């Protein structure tokens, strides 16, 4: 069926409600809009669903949510892991339609005889990860589009270990979702589901235990009550407000100032165009308050509170730190303090992703810790934690990814901006006691190790044409890889789609041990690197760059190096699009 026929089918299908049909009638005659809404079904990928809210098969709405959940229900009922007493925990963030999508998902599961635990209001994504484990659930769902623009929402699936589903479980769930048609989705009234004990609301005990586990990750809790550091916090209208404030308050921080304009949940994100703590513009309100209060530190969490960005006072104003910068500060702080207290395990491990800074590897080496790389996506870090628990091979210390996601502790299996916020503030209090700011601590790391700098560029390519352009770019790069980047020869190419690692000088090929993913990675002779991957959640292709320069090099040197690397790679990308 082509997109026009699907459009007409939705207009005439008795299953589709009148409000949805009215929305579709408004686009009658707009061929491009109809095509974009119906040229495909919104893909249920390895991380679940994410898309623009609206009517159509290529949009997020109650029908696409129900269809995905029916596929999940079918998979659960076939799973050996499922027992009738087990349920599914479901949380949601602040976005438009998040509460409604959360309820719709629960009622589909209930209609299939699977009990659910929802929450009375929005909750951070990491709390859902914790709740799955705490409540003994078979699976979990979070309705969120993370830091995407306001028009988006999404749906992520977790398994019984509290982590997002890795291969091959992810593909098995996708296969079940693909079998479902809108006509064979089951649902039921909420009143009936509640009367049968299928629709449940989780108690506050889940929140209490979550915060208890978060606070347990502190390494120097005794210094916090006496610290005079001033902290400005903003949840950017999202789910982090109560959890982060509670964790900081109960840990003993006294001078915490919340950005009032952004404190309350609002899926329209009225004060920011892009609710992402990676974006400097998202800090505008927080910076204003920080200057008024002469704050030492700004902490900003994203809408579902799994990512955190910070700005630190430096030279009379504030310096925003990248996710990599925060990650290495946390790695050094945790490793050094555990070592000082005699708590650093001999088999300790730090985990990060292939597109995160290589500086973490050097820090891990300095403290005798194992360093492991995984593909982009925190589910792979969660998978490693599970592997450690089964084999007792390593003790997990910290995992992070450059996109501002961190997790200390194993109570959750997804990145947690609540614990990250607490540990960042604790580290700030600790270094303050040594007469240093977090910025000073970072500069000390660049002297102790080499200078590492990273950057990322996203190229947005929307719609059918954009999808084809992304494929064209990846194909061109495989046929015509860069020979050098930023003046340094490419010595190794890693093609994760074909699971190949190519030694360029001698042509030797070895297999990659990481899962299949449409990612290309280039390592250069001077220790720098670049990576290209299509985004799994947005219509973008992402170019990552990492530069390594000798200790004593300047920031300007690093910026110039990164710019040259970007220029070299972009030449191939632009030729592909010509």
Of the three residues 323, 346, 371, the one that is the final residue of a domain is 323
Asked, for residue 442, whether it belongs to a domain, the answer is no
Asked, for residue 432, whether it belongs to a domain, the answer is no
User: What CATH number is attached to the domain comprising 146?
Assistant: 3.40.120.10
Angle 429-434-439 from CA coordinates, rounded to 5°: 70
- Rounded to whole angstroms, the Cα distance separating 254 from 214 reads 18
What are φ and ψ of residue 451, in 5° steps?
-90, 120
Structural domain boundaries, residue 410: 330-415
- Rounded to whole angstroms, the Cα distance separating 520 from 542 reads 11
Q: Are residues 60 and 185 in the same domain?
A: yes
What is the structure's pLDDT at 430? 98
pLDDT at 166 over 90: no
pLDDT at 25 over 90: yes
Do residues 453 and 556 make contact, with C-beta atoms less than 8 angstroms apart? Answer: no
- Rounded to whole angstroms, the Cα distance separating 92 from 388 reads 29
What is the structure's pLDDT at 504? 96
What is the structure's pLDDT at 539? 82
Concerning whether 475 is annotated as a catalytic residue, the answer is no
Do residues 210 and 127 make contact, with C-beta atoms less than 8 angstroms apart? Answer: yes
Q: Are residues 353 and 490 in the same domain?
A: no
List the one residue out of 438, 518, 522 whose CA is nearest residue 481.
Answer: 522
Give the mean model confidence (pLDDT) for residues 208-221.
Answer: 98
Q: Are residues 389 and 489 in the same domain?
A: no
Q: Are residues 394 and 283 in the same domain?
A: no
pLDDT at 317 over 80: yes
Residues above pLDDT 70, as percent of the chain: 100
Asked, for residue 191, whether it belongs to a domain, the answer is yes
Catalytic residue among 98, 102, 129, 146: 146
Both tokens of residue 348?
Answer: 């300790």
pLDDT tens digit sequence for 58-76: 999 999 999 999 999 999 9
Both tokens of residue 184?
Answer: 């064979």
Q: Are residues 137 and 235 in the same domain?
A: no
pLDDT tens digit sequence for 515-559: 999 999 999 999 999 999 998 767 899 999 999 998 888 999 999
Q: How confident is the model at residue 204 (pLDDT cuts 50, 70, 90)?
A: very high
pLDDT tens digit sequence for 337-356: 999 999 999 999 999 999 99
Of the three residues 371, 394, 415, the one that is the final residue of a domain is 415
Q: Are residues 530 and 467 in the same domain?
A: yes
Q: How confident is the model at residue 578 (pLDDT cuts 50, 70, 90)?
A: confident
- Rounded to whole angstroms, the Cα distance separating 405 from 389 reads 22
Both tokens of residue 338?
Answer: 């555990």
What is the structure's pLDDT at 505? 94
What is the structure's pLDDT at 552? 85
Q: Are residues 365 and 296 in the same domain?
A: no
pLDDT tens digit sequence for 436-455: 999 999 999 999 998 999 99
Q: Which residue has the tokens 């560029």?
A: 457
User: What CATH number is attached to the domain comprising 460?
Assistant: 3.30.310.50
Q: Are residues 79 and 190 in the same domain?
A: yes
Strands 348-353 and 370-374: parallel
Both tokens of residue 542?
Answer: 């992402």
Domain count for the chain, please give it.
Answer: 4
Q: Which DSSP state fits 14? A: T
Asked, for residue 388, whether it belongs to a domain, the answer is yes
pLDDT tens digit sequence for 298-312: 999 999 999 999 999
Strands 139-143 and 395-401: unpaired
Q: Are residues 260 and 395 in the same domain?
A: no
List the one residue out of 562, 576, 545 whose CA is nearest residue 461.
Answer: 576
Asked, for residue 469, whether it belongs to a domain, the answer is yes
In 31-138 the beta strands, taken as DSSP E runs, fall at: 49-52, 87-92, 115-118
Do residues 237 and 264 make contact, with C-beta atoms less than 8 angstroms apart? Answer: yes
Asked, for residue 426, whether it belongs to a domain, the answer is no
Q: How confident is the model at residue 573 (pLDDT cuts 50, 70, 90)?
A: very high
Q: Are residues 138 and 182 in the same domain?
A: yes
Q: Are residues 521 and 458 in the same domain?
A: yes
Residues contacting residue 576 through CB under 8 Å, at least 6 positions apart: 469, 472, 473, 475, 476, 477
Q: Is the preceding peptide bond at 168 cis, omega within 30 degrees of 0? A: yes
Do residues 178 and 72 make contact, with C-beta atoms less than 8 angstroms apart? Answer: no
- Rounded to whole angstroms, the Cα distance separating 410 from 213 reads 9
Report CA-CA distances (Å) from 336 to 112, 377, 430. Answer: 51, 27, 12
Q: Average model confidence (pLDDT) for the chain? A: 96
Q: Are residues 168 and 277 in the same domain?
A: no
Of the three residues 395, 415, 435, the one that is the final residue of a domain is 415
Predicted TM-score of the model (pTM): 0.94
Give the mean model confidence (pLDDT) for residues 26-54.
Answer: 91
Residues above pLDDT 90, as percent of the chain: 92
Q: How confident is the model at residue 106 (pLDDT cuts 50, 70, 90)?
A: very high
Asked, for residue 524, whether it belongs to a domain, the answer is yes
| Lowest pLDDT segment from 204-213, 241-250, 464-473, 483-492 | 464-473
């Amino acid at each position: 069926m082509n997109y026009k026929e699907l459009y007409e089918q939705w207009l005439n299908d008795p299953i589709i409600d009148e409000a949805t049909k009215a929305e579709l009638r408004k686009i009658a005659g707009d061929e491009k809009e109809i095509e974009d809404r119906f040229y495909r079904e919104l893909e249920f990928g390895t991380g679940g669903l994410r898309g623009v809210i609206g009517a159509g098969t290529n949009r997020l709405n109650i029908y696409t949510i129900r269809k995905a959940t029916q596929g999940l229900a079918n998979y659960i009922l076939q799973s050996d892991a499922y027992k009738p007493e087990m349920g599914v925990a479901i949380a949601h963030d602040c976005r438009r339609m998040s509460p409604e999508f959360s309820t719709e998902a629960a009622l589909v599961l209930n209609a299939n005889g699977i009990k659910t635990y929802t929450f009375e209001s929005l909750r951070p994504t990491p709390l859902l990860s914790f709740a799955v484990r705490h409540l003994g659930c078979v699976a979990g769902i979070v309705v969120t589009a993370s830091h995407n623009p306001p028009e988006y929402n999404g749906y992520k699936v977790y398994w019984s270990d509290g982590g997002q589903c890795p291969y091959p479980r992810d593909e098995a769930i996708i296969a079940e979702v693909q079998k479902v048609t809108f006509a064979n989705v089951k649902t039921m009234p909420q009143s009936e589901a509640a009367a049968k004990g299928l629709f449940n609301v989780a108690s506050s005990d889940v929140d209490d235990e979550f915060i208890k586990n978060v606070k347990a990750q502190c390494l120097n809790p005794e210094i916090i009550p006496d610290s005079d550091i001033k902290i400005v916090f903003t949840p950017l209208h999202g789910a982090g407000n109560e959890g982060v404030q509670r964790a900081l308050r109960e840990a003993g921080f006294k001078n915490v100032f919340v950005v009032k304009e952004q404190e309350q949940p609002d899926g329209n994100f009225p004060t920011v165009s892009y609710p992402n703590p990676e974006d400097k513009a998202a800090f505008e309100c927080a910076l204003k308050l920080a200057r008024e209060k002469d704050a030492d530190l700004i902490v900003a969490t994203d809408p579902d509170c799994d990512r955190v960005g910070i700005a630190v006072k430096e030279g009379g104003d504030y310096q925003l730190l990248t996710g990599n910068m925060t990650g290495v500060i946390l790695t050094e702080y945790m490793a050094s303090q555990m070592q000082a207290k005699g708590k650093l395990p001999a088999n300790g491990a730090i985990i990060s992703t292939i597109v995160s800074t290589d500086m973490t590897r050097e820090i891990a080496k300095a403290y005798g810790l194992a360093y492991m790389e995984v593909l982009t996506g925190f589910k792979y870090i969660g998978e490693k934690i599970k592997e450690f628990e089964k084999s007792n091979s390593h003790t997990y210390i910290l995992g992070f990814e450059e996109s501002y996601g961190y997790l200390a502790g194993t109570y959750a299996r997804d990145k947690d901006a609540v614990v990250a916020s607490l540990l960042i503030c604790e580290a700030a209090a600790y270094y303050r006691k040594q007469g240093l700011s977090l910025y000073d601590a970072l500069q000390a790391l660049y002297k102790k190790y080499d200078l590492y700098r990273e950057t990322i560029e996203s190229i947005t390519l929307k719609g059918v044409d954009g999808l084809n352009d992304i494929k064209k770019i990846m194909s061109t790069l495989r046929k015509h890889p860069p020979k050098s980047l930023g003046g340094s020869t490419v010595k190794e190419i890693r093609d994760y789609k074909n699971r190949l690692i190519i030694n360029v000088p001698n042509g030797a090929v070895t297999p990659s041990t990481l899962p299949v993913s449409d990612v290309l990675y280039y390592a250069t002779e001077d220790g720098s690197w670049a990576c290209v991957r299509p985004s799994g959640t947005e219509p973008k292709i992402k170019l990552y760059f990492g530069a390594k320069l000798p200790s004593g090099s300047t920031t300007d040197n690093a910026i110039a190096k990164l710019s040259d690397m970007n220029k070299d790679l972009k030449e191939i990308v632009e030729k592909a699009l010509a």
